[in-house]
Structure 1
Amino acid sequence: MMTPRIERLLLNGRVRTLNARRPSVTALALSAGRIVAVSEDSEALRALVTSETVVDDLEGRAVLPGFVDAHLHWQGTTEGLFTVDLHDVPSRHECAERVAQFASNSPPGEWILGYGWSQDSWADGCFPSADDLDAATTDHPVFLKARSGHAAWVNSLALRLCGVDREMSDPPGGQILRKSDGTPSGVLLEWTAMGLISSRIPPISVETLATRMLKAQEYMLRLGLTGFHDFDWRDSFLALQILHERRELNLRVVKQVNAEYLESALDLGVRQGFGDEWIRIGNLKIFADGALGPRTASMIAPYDGEPGNFGIVVTDKEEILELVGKASAAGFASSVHAIGDRAVHDLLDVYEQVRRQEAVSGVVRSLRRHRIEHVQLIHPDDVSRLAELDVIASMQPIHATSDYPFADRYWGARCAWAYNPRLQLDRGVVVAFGSDSPVEHPSPLLGIHAAVTRQRRDGSPGPEGWYPAARLSVDEAVRGYTLGPAYAAGLEDRQGKLELGFWADLVVLDRDLYAVPPEEIPALQIVGTMVGGDWKYREF
């Protein structure tokens, strides 16, 4: 057998391959963007070196397959780098101060956009109002998205420009919060209500968005990410294609298809998996319910302390069944946002019916890799149903540590079944991890730390973590950021391992993630990120 030409040789590494047959090696030989040889003996591969081979001595550094974020919002992540950052701001007053400072450097009439506020982190826990923002500026319309992404806070000028007044009814699947006299308060819940304002904000050009994405891409590469599954909208897809066209796309992207574009995709005859090694079409994306932050996640029993609040159904069960069934018949699996236990239950009912339809049509389950996005709360009676239906659990470990005070407050004892990938792993379910960025920080290391410790970086809520029975091993968490996303995308034959024929996508760390104390995981440094055999980020 002819030995392939070796373009690059990585030597003297501590390489964890995630391949059970050969779990660790010290050397990798690369050619044409793929791994063509592996060895436990670095010197043995030196014989393959030619005058054209680039040799990188890893000097004992730890190497893992590249991390893949299975759920983020790429346009939102990009835009977050160019708007008012309200993450972890401790009061509405300080949020307004940041808006005022931003507005002082913006021409009158220009929209002020921001992201990341959370009323649950404020002392009174109450929603803000337009009046709070009117104190910051009356010359700029303001639109601030909540950390959950399921609520928006606007000022009076924004309401007036968009015609949102006391006569306007709540849109289907959304809610306009109101004062006692019926006038809008300045907070809008869920996408349809938020869209009453956001649809009137002048968009930036797709070319500008593509250019801004370069900054976000550099940021992600420094975090050790080599790819992601994108849940944002059409402009995100267009901008990513522009980067690809310019040969500036350095991350591998699986682009989900939002429900409003399903008919267009079907008319074109596009099927899941269409694309190349940089951008490929993923699943159909649907919203079943809202989120915990604004208490709009759809619940079987009401929120603790709010006896009349069962959340919001964004897309009803019958419509989800129609969409998922139509998509499956046309070659698409589905990824459905479901956070509350009612939403998860209803979605599992849908998948059960669709699995029966697929069986009648002769479609094997591995060809329709359906997913539940988030699975933040599941009813005990439904815990085993993902395994029974071969449904992937797409989860975000850092949500657990960010949300636990609010989950305890509003879900109480139900939290034993909340944010719990252990329940699914123990039943053989494929779990794919992500960040939901910009809702949470996109660092996989922070996600792994949350999964392993169930603690925040400051050690809260205590040494055992929140519901410690849900903790994972480091290996389980790493697989959630590598093998899990690869399987979810149908790429398990080329992504997620460091093995012969797989993409040469890898991350180099300053220390061994498997060997450090769990509390030190956030302090680990990514010193190199390689995608397709090329260093896209390197600091050694």
Structure 2
Amino acid sequence: MHLDQWALSRAALDLSGATSAAHAVRSIAEYLPSADTAVVVVHGFRDGLWPDSPTAALLDAATADRPVVALSGDLHSGWFNTAALRRFSLAPHPSGLLTETEFMPIMNDVQRVDPAVLDRRVDAAVRAAAARGVVGVTDFEIADNRAVWARRIAAGTDLLRVRCGIWPRWLDQAITDGVGTGDAVPGTRGLATVGPMKVIVDGSLGTRTAYCHAPYPGGGNGVLSVPPRELVGLMSRATRHGLECAIHAIGDQACEHVLDAFATTGAHGSVEHAQLVAEKDFRRFAELGVIASVQPAHVHDDADLAERYWAGRTGRSFPYGSLLSSGTRLALGSDAPVAPLDPWLTLAAAVDRTLPDGRVWHREHEIPWEVALAASTGGRARVTNGDLADLVVLDTDELPTTGACLASMPVWGTMLGGRWTYEPAA
């Protein structure tokens, strides 16, 4: 997940319900008078099924000279008005819709807020997560996460365990410091540990940039952000210095390249997302010992997109059943803010492929409750004597295993290392 972005999105206008660019612009226009920042940043638009296109001109008509940026729900594109393009030295731009390599380098600048404000919002998001039973996250924020979390935990934001993702920009520093995946971050009382190196090799389904073998209906196979040779170099270096690798791959050709890199380097770690996988590659996950780190709640947002843009291939998209039957280890998460930081929504979507409109989508990829639970708890499926007391106490007499009941699971209390992090009022 991306904790800073999740925290910021909780306080911003949510465009996920917009059904067209015009609808989104109307929502932004209504929101503007209440926005108090120099650059207005809103979140969550999903334009893959819109009948019209998001353009700077359309935003300009409602926002005038006030800089406005809308971030897509998958975080792979940003929709800028002309004032925002000028603000970030991007003008002129043909459309105002920036994707992938033209957007990613400036995403942090677009969302920049005072560090004290950001830390307060993160603290609030962490408290809300604890109230839903979350005891730990892997933070893939594009930042020096070890330093960030040492500061936050020292300041009292200490209700979660955090695995600190290492992006290539900070790989040299991690190597210089001699740290490897699993090492404790000094000064955090063991709450923060070094996570894996994170690399994004392709785009997303929502932005139509996931790198696929077959072309998209409008042409093109997506975007390969990191070529195979460069990826092998990064993974080899990380592996030599004790870091696991977490590699973002959504399209089937991207997944193939990433599995090839794991085979070449002998690296340990995960493919993040694995939303479209070639039939021949299911078994390779298990053979290589590569974890499929997946986000079941994304199915609710992406099923219709997959039907349009991956037509004829949806039987191997979000293919948790096929991965599981091949012997692959699954790890479940949210990738918040792409989906809410709520493990019960994740579990519900993993065991029940019923979409919000009642349709059942590829039931063959539902996974058993016991498997989903273990994949959401780092492999721990039960509590035994001597375990670390990271516990969730549920306000129910019987543990439901159906999707609807899981999604609304009542959490009575959450404990981290024997310390209550969420305790209801007496």
CA contact (8 A) 2:400 2:406 kept: no
Distance 1:202 1:481 in 2: 30
* Contact 1:206 1:235 (8 Å CA) reproduced: no
Question: What secondary structure, in the 3-state scheme, does the structure 2 residue paired with 1:120 have?
Answer: coil
Quick one: distance in 2 between partners of 1:527 and 1:458?
30
Which aligned pairs between 1:484-503 and structure 2 lie closer than 5 A?
484=379, 497-503=382-388
Q: 2:163 aligns with which of 245, 254, 258?
A: 254
CA-CA distance at 1:197 after TM superposition: 4.9
Label 1:295 to 1:513 Cα distance change in 2 as closer, same or farther (>3 A). farther
Structure 1, unaligned stretches of length 5 or more? 1-71, 167-182, 356-367, 485-494
In the superposition, relative to structure 1, how do residues 399 and 288 fare at CA in structure 2: closer, same or farther (>3 Å)? same
Paired residue for 1:419? 318
- Structure of higher RCO (CA pairs closer than 8 Å, 6+ residues apart): 1
The CA deviation string for residues 170-193 of structure 1, in whole angstroms up to 9 with x for no partner, is xxxxxxxxxxxxx52110111x31
Deviation track 1:278-321 (CA, whole Å, cap 9, x = no partner) reads 00001110011000001000011112x22x31000111111000
* Equivalent AA in structure 2 for residue 102 of structure 1: Y
Please name the residue that 1:534 is paired with.
419
1:195–1:396: structure 2 CA closer, same or farther, 3 Å change rule?
A: closer
1:271 to 164, 180, 183: 180
Q: Output the TM-score relative to the length of structure 1.
A: 0.74
CA distance in 2, matches of 1:224, 1:160: 43
3-state secondary structure, aligned to 1:273: coil
Task: Classify the secondary structure of the residue corresponding to 2:74.
Answer: coil
Q: Whole-Å Cα distance in 2 between the matches of residues 136 and 527 of structure 1?
A: 45
- Give the 5 Å matches for 1:4-23: none
Cα offset, 1:106, TM superposition: 4.0
Give the residue type in structure 2 aligned to 1:289: D
1:508 aligns with 2:403: no
1: CA distance between counterparts of 2:244 and 2:161?
20
Tell whether the 8 Å contact from 1:207 to 1:239 is kept in structure 2 after alignment: no
1:137-148 matches, cutoff 5 A:
137-148=63-74
1:471-513 CA-to-partner distances (Å, cap 9, x unmatched) read: 11111111111134xxxxxxxxxx6642222221111222366
Q: Indicate which of 93, 100, 107 corresponds to 2:22.
A: 93
Instruction: Write out per-residue CA displacement over residues 117-164 of structure 1, whole angstroms, 9 at most, x where no aligned residue.
Output: 001243x1x430112211221232111110011011010111123332
Report the equivalent of 1:117.
45
The one-character-per-residue Cα deviations of 1:371-407 (angstroms, maximum 9, x if unpaired) are 1000101101111001110111100111122211010
Name the SS for the 1:384 alignment partner.
helix
- Counterpart AA for 2:339: E
Say yes or no: does 1:194 pair with 2:120. no
Q: Deviations over 1:65-110 (max 9, x none)?
A: xxxxxxx111111111222221222232332233223321346x81
**In structure 1, which of residues 295, 304, 307 is the aligned counterpart of residue 208 of structure 2?**
295
* 1:324-379 deviation digits (Å, cap 9, x = unpaired): 00110111110000000000001111111112xxxxxxxxxxxx531100010110
> 1:206-255 CA distances to partner (integer Å, 9 max, x unpaired)?
33322221110111012111111111122655442222112331101011
Pair 512,334 (structure 1): closer, same or farther in 2 beyond 3 Å: farther
Q: Distance in 2 between matches of 1:411 and 1:114?
A: 28
- 1:314 alignment partner in structure 2: 225
1:101-112 equivalent positions in 2, closer than 5 A: 101-106=30-35, 110-112=38-40
Contact 1:209 1:239 in 2 (8 A): no
For the residue of structure 1 that corresponds to 2:415, the secondary structure is strand
Q: Classify the secondary structure of the residue corresponding to 2:63.
A: coil
- Residue in structure 2 matched with residue 347 of structure 1 by the alignment: 258
Change (3 A) 1:202 1:435: closer
Contact conserved, 1:454 with 1:467, CA < 8 A, in 2? Answer: yes
Question: Structure 1 199/537 Cα, relative in aligned 2: closer, same or farther at 3 Å?
Answer: closer
CA contact (8 A) 2:300 2:355 kept: yes
2:249 counterpart residue number: 338
| C-alpha contact 1:394 1:432 (8 A) present in aligned 2 | yes
Q: Is the 8 A contact 1:210 1:239 kept in 2?
A: no
Contact 1:85–1:116 (Cα < 8 Å) also in 2: yes
Structure 2 counterpart of 1:11: none
Residue of structure 2 equivalent to 1:185? 95
SS across alignment from 1:527: strand
Alignment of 1:80-479 (within 5 A): 80-106=9-35, 110-122=38-50, 124=51, 126-166=52-92, 183-190=93-100, 192-195=101-104, 197-198=106-107, 200-201=109-110, 203-234=112-143, 237-275=146-184, 277-303=190-216, 305-306=217-218, 308-355=219-266, 369-459=268-358, 461=359, 465-479=360-374
State the partner residue of 1:64: none
Provide the residue aligned with 1:17 in structure 2.
none
User: Size of the alignment, in residue pairs?
Assistant: 421
Cα shift at 1:264: 1.8
Instruction: Using the aligned pairs only, state the percent identity.
Output: 31
Q: Which amino acid aligns with 1:302?
A: P
Shift in alpha-carbon separation, 1:509–1:407, aligned structure 2, 3 A:
same
Q: Which amino acid aligns with 2:31?
A: F
Q: Which residues of structure 2 form unaligned runs of 5+?
A: none
Aligned partner of residue 135 in structure 1, secondary structure: helix
8 Å CA contact 1:513–1:521 kept in 2: the answer is no
Where is the strand percentage greater, Structure 1 or Structure 2? Answer: 1
Structure ID, larger Rg = 1
What is the rounded CA distance, in whole Å, between the counterparts of 1:300 and 1:398 in structure 2?
Answer: 25
**TM-score in terms of structure 2 length:** 0.93
* Aligned residues of 1:164 and 1:184 also touching (Cα < 8 A): no
3-state SS of the aligned residue for 1:158?
A: helix
Change (3 A) 1:527 1:261: same
